[in-house]
Structure 1
Amino acid sequence: MFRQLTDTILVSPQIDLDDLAEAVKLGVKHIINNRPEGESDDQTPGAVIEQAAKDAGLTYVAIPVGHGGFSEGQVNAMAETLAGAQGPILAYCRSGTRSTLLWALARASQGATAEELTPIANAAGYDITPVRPLVDMLSAKAS
């Protein structure tokens, strides 16, 4: 279920409490919720995941991304969270795609290029093509 992007970041579809326990066993120290509340009736509420994460000694941050696209604030929040993390991160949304795309945008805002990010995302089963122009723009701006 968890897909590895790098040594320190995993992405995943919606998690539940059993998945959180598995993440803890894998050494995850931070949870990033990229899913808006109420997106579907079957999703585990963010507050439930947040409390369980905190009870397990993990940090939790919500950076919800709807289907309307990515904002500068979301990219900055993801970049700050990635930069400040002390240990492995699990980011999740409905399918893992928005988490992967937001990760790519955050990394691009720090200077990573699409040529670097594309094979990483592809190896995990994700495609950053939908945000490629933004990746290129952010990467060029950071350089």
Structure 2
Amino acid sequence: MEYRQISDDYSVSGQITADDIATIKAAGFKGIICNRPDNEQPGQPSADEIRKAVEAAGLGFRHVPLISGQPVTMEAAEAMAKALDELDGPVFAYCRSGARSTNLFLAAQQVRG
């Protein structure tokens, strides 16, 4: 599994599976954010499936979905900022490619000041 570090305490990747959680935890991440809506693609693990594996591993989880191709709304940026504030870091976020997770992070930074 490959991921990109966006800041000292935030990294992104494409879709993960429950089997990836141990690797994410071993890399030192404390929280995971899913930025992908459920049922975006056939065979995609649901946010609830990932949440269960994340919580079983003792990590925090938030679901802040953003539809692919849609602009980041103020509501989505605020929800992402809240998720980042609530989770212990470093935080690992994912979507289909990592782009939405990156864009939401940047928008959340504007909200957070």
> TM-score, normalized by length of structure 2?
0.91
Counterpart position of 1:92: 94
Higher strand share: 2
Counterpart position of 1:48: 49
**1:74 deviation in Å?**
1.0
Counterpart position of 2:30: 29
Higher helix share: 1
**1:8 deviation in Å?**
0.8
Counterpart position of 1:7: 8
TM-align CA RMSD? 1.2
What is the alpha-carbon distance in structure 2 between the residues aligned to residue 30 and residue 15 of structure 1? 14
**Match of 1:109, SS?**
helix
Aligned residues: 111
Is the 8 Å Cα contact of residues 61 and 87 (structure 2) preserved in structure 1?
no
Query: How do residues 126-141 of structure 1 correspond to structure 2 at under 5 angstroms?
Result: none
> TM-score, normalized by length of structure 1?
0.73
Counterpart position of 2:73: 71
Structure 2 stretches lacking a partner, 5+ long: none
**Equivalent AA in structure 1 for residue 35 of structure 2:** N
What is the alpha-carbon distance in structure 1 between the residues aligned to residue 13 and residue 97 of structure 2? 6
**1:84 deviation in Å?**
2.9
Task: Tell which structure's C-alpha radius of gyration is larger.
Answer: 1
**Match of 1:99, SS?**
helix
Work out the percentage of aligned pairs sharing the same amino acid. 39
What is the alpha-carbon distance in structure 2 between the residues aligned to residue 25 and residue 33 of structure 1? 19
Structure 1 stretches lacking a partner, 5+ long: 112-143
